[in-house]
Amino acid sequence: MLAPDAIRYSMGWIGWGILAALVIFASSYFLIRFDARSTLKRIPDPLVVLLGLMLMSLLWSQYRPQSVLSVALQFGGTAFALFLVNQFGWRQLLNILSNTLRLILVASLLFELLAAWLGQIEPIFPNYGGEPPTRAYLWSQGNLFEGDRIQGIVGNANLLAFLAVLGALVFLIEMIVTAKRRSVPAASLVLSLVMATLAQSATMQVAGAIVLFAAAVAVIAEGKSPRVRRAIYLRSLIVLGGFGVLGLVFREEAFELVGRSADATGRFEIWSAVWTLVVEKPLEGWGWIGYWRPGVEPWEGLAVIGGVPMYQAHNASLDVLVQLGLLGLGVFLWLMVATFVRLWHIAVRHTSPLYLYPLFIFLALAAQSLAESRLLIEGGWILLVLVAVKSQEGFTQLEPMGTSTKVSKLFRYVQRFRRRLAPQATRRIITY
């Protein structure tokens, strides 16, 4: 689910569909077998309402067969996320996610090395006939040593950048909280930073900065009185607002700084095209479809950038608005705000750095959703449902609270790290 195109390019849509069906069936079976009721009770109200609206949209959908399939996949992905909530704790989920991201990033590096040697790699099961219409249709363009963006095993530079940034955040927490050798998460952190740099995503550069800023605020606010916390939050919002205003005023310079065109690489054109559909059906929307399907009206040919047709609005909120109308957008924003508040509460209240990574996941998803709609499908949707439902567990189900704050724990960790490096550095100097 985190690297879907790698499956579709290598096994085709039929192979991907079979694997997805097996995952959904197995998830549903084990969810029912292991006390599904306790997990279902934790589903937050906005998520229930949003899923209900997706189902109800079948009544007015302009493309009912495709909507039926999309809603089924939405519920299937939700079932898989609920299975993860049901079966694993936060620490186990950290291990699962970090190992999955490690596999994807290592495979992506090896895949790009192969593509650089071969020149380019086409999908085994392409979604075009004959020669690829443009280089964007290639599985990998072989840009590893060319200075251009790489796509990795996932076949998409933006998705690779998201997974790399998410990996960096997860590996950082794994390196801090693990009781085992830290060499593997440390090497993984370096790899993720390298892959994020090579993928060259401006959105994820901003996402990384936002997540680190939020982490700093969460760590500083821990253990403070409510009055002091409110003051910290107010000043943080003022700083964020200031950067936001500067970004709007100096928009062209900001895009130039991160190597992007002033129209956000064609996104303004896409958003304008989508808005023409929004005004036609502002209240109920056109019906749920998730990722737009090729050949389905009104999506086919709605936005074409550089000869490549777009099959998403490149903004999750705008995609929800055009598909489920104003009511759907309101429920979606309700879900996002409620999830953020709950995750922030856990991250600030608990003394373990472990509980920062669920907040990191959500913030990375939220930042990605500003320029991509992947939050609404496959891995993005599963991660959102996972953190939204898992965060509803009470504090009694979390690991025991410690007696020291995250700041003191991080300080001790840095001190141990420095003491470990000091003898090695001394030996190197003496040897030299």
Q: Structural domain of residue 132, as residue ranges?
A: 1-33+88-200
Separation CA 355–CA 97 (nearest Å)? 14
DSSP 88: -
To the nearest whole number, what is the mean pLDDT of the chain?
A: 84
pLDDT of 356 over the 60 cut: yes
Q: What is the pLDDT of residue 38?
A: 84
> Rounded to 5 degrees, what are φ and ψ at 303?
-140, 125
**What tokens were used for 335?**
């879900």
pLDDT of 404 over the 90 cut: no
255 found inside a domain: no
420 found inside a domain: no
What is the pLDDT averaged over residues 363-369? 90
What is the pLDDT averaged over residues 199-216? 80
Q: Between 400 and 155, whose confidence is greater? A: 155
- Structural domain total, the chain: 1
Residue 326 neighbours by CB distance under 10 Å: 14
What is the pLDDT averaged over residues 360-374? 90
Each residue's pLDDT tens digit, 71-110: 999 999 999 999 999 999 999 999 999 999 999 999 999 9
For 35-124, where are the alpha helices, taking DSSP H only? 36-40, 45-56, 64-87, 90-118
- Assign 412 a pLDDT band (cuts: 50, 70, 90): low
Q: What is the pLDDT of residue 326?
A: 94
Is residue 8 within 8 A of residue 291, CB to CB? The reply is no
pLDDT of 399 over the 80 cut: no
pLDDT of 411 over the 80 cut: no
| Ranges 131-145, 166-180, 384-398: which has the least confidence | 131-145
pLDDT of 206 over the 60 cut: yes
- How is 186-211 classified by DSSP, letter by letter? HHHHHHHHHHHHHHT-HHHHHHHHHH
Q: What is the pLDDT of residue 111?
A: 92
Highest mean pLDDT among 173-177, 259-263, 424-428: 173-177
> Rounded to 5 degrees, what are φ and ψ at 416?
-65, -40
What is the pLDDT averaged over residues 15-26? 92
Peptide bond between residue 298 and the one before it cis (omega within 30 degrees of 0) = yes
pLDDT of 351 over the 60 cut: yes
pLDDT of 381 over the 50 cut: yes
**What tokens were used for 41?**
């009770």
Separation CA 200–CA 238 (nearest Å)? 29
293 found inside a domain: no
Task: Return the axis-axis angle of helices 406-431 and 202-221, rounded to nearest 10°.
Answer: 110
Length of the chain: 432
Q: Which residues pair with 121 in a beta bridge?
A: 140
Q: What is the pLDDT of residue 37?
A: 85
41 found inside a domain: no
125 found inside a domain: yes
Each residue's pLDDT tens digit, 236-284: 888 877 877 776 666 665 555 555 544 456 788 888 889 999 999 999 8
- The three-point CA angle 400-175-171 to 5° equals 105
Each residue's pLDDT tens digit, 334-348: 999 999 999 988 888
> Rounded to 5 degrees, what are φ and ψ at 140?
-145, 135
Share of the chain above pLDDT 70, in %: 87
145 found inside a domain: yes
What is the pLDDT averaged over residues 46-52? 95
Separation CA 167–CA 172 (nearest Å)? 8
Q: What is the pLDDT of residue 401?
A: 66
Residue 75 neighbours by CB distance under 10 Å: 14
pLDDT of 405 over the 70 cut: no
DSSP 140: B
Closest CA to 62 of 286, 285, 276, 282: 286
Residue 410 neighbours by CB distance under 10 Å: 13
What is the pLDDT averaged over residues 347-375? 88
DSSP 292: P
Dihedral-angle region of residue 295 (phi above 0 means left; psi in -120 to 50 means alpha; beta otherwise) = left
Write down the residue that tokens 């996949």 correspond to: 73
151 found inside a domain: yes
Q: What is the pLDDT of residue 348?
A: 83
367 found inside a domain: no
Q: What is the pLDDT of residue 101?
A: 95
Q: What is the pLDDT of residue 262?
A: 46
